[in-house]
Amino acid sequence: MKTRLTLTVNGERQDLLVEGWKTLLEVLREDLQLTGTKHGCELGECGACAVLVDGEPVLSCLVLSAECGGRVVETVEGLTRDGRLDPLQETFADLGAAQCGYCTPGILMTARALLDRDPAPTRETIREALSGNLCRCTGYNQIFEAVEAAIGRARTRQS
C-alpha cells in the first residue's frame, strides 16, 4: 500500500506515493533516482548512505521515508550550488580524498554537517565526526586533510 510523502530534497519539493516500508535511502535512490547516495550494508554499519535531514547527518538506510514528511533532505547532488562545487568537493577531488569514490558522498555530507556546526574543527573533532563512515581505500588521512583544506576555502553556503 502506497502512501503520500511530501518532502524537500535539495531545495526541490517532492510529492510522492511510496510503500510505507521504504527507507529514505530507497526513496532517494529508487523513487527519485538520486543515486549519488550509496549503500554498503543497509544495516547502519558503514555510513555510505549518510544524508542530511534538517541539517543533521543521518544514515538514510535506517530512516523510514514515512518519518521524513515535511522535512528538508540534502544529498550529495545538492552540494553543488550555482554550478560551483562545495569547497569540500573541491578539496576532496584535489587532495586524493576520494579514491574509489563510493564512501565519498556519505563522508562529504557528514563533513558538511560538521563544518556547518563548527567552521574550524580540530583534527580530533574531524576524526570523531567521521568515525561512523568507513573508507576502505584511503586510510583516512587524505580525507582529514581535505576537510581541513576546505576550512581554508570556506565560503558562505547558501541554503
Nearest to 4 by CA among 12, 22, 35: 22
Q: Report the alpha-carbon distance of residue 81 to residue 77 in Å, rounded.
A: 9
Q: Grid coordinates in use for 75?
A: 544529498
139 counts as binding other proteins under rule CB under 8 A:
yes
113 counts as binding other proteins under rule CB under 8 A:
no
> Which amino acid type is present at position 116?
D
| Options 25, 65, 138, 150; binder of other proteins; rule CB under 8 A | 138
Find the DSSP H helices in the chain: 24-26, 87-94, 104-117, 123-129, 141-152
95 counts as binding other proteins under rule CB under 8 A:
yes
63 counts as binding other proteins under rule CB under 8 A:
no
| Options 127, 148, 149, 151; binder of other proteins; rule CB under 8 A | 127
Question: What residues make contact with other proteins under the rule CB under 8 A?
Answer: 33-43, 45-46, 48, 75-77, 79-80, 85, 88-90, 92-96, 98-105, 108, 126-128, 130-144
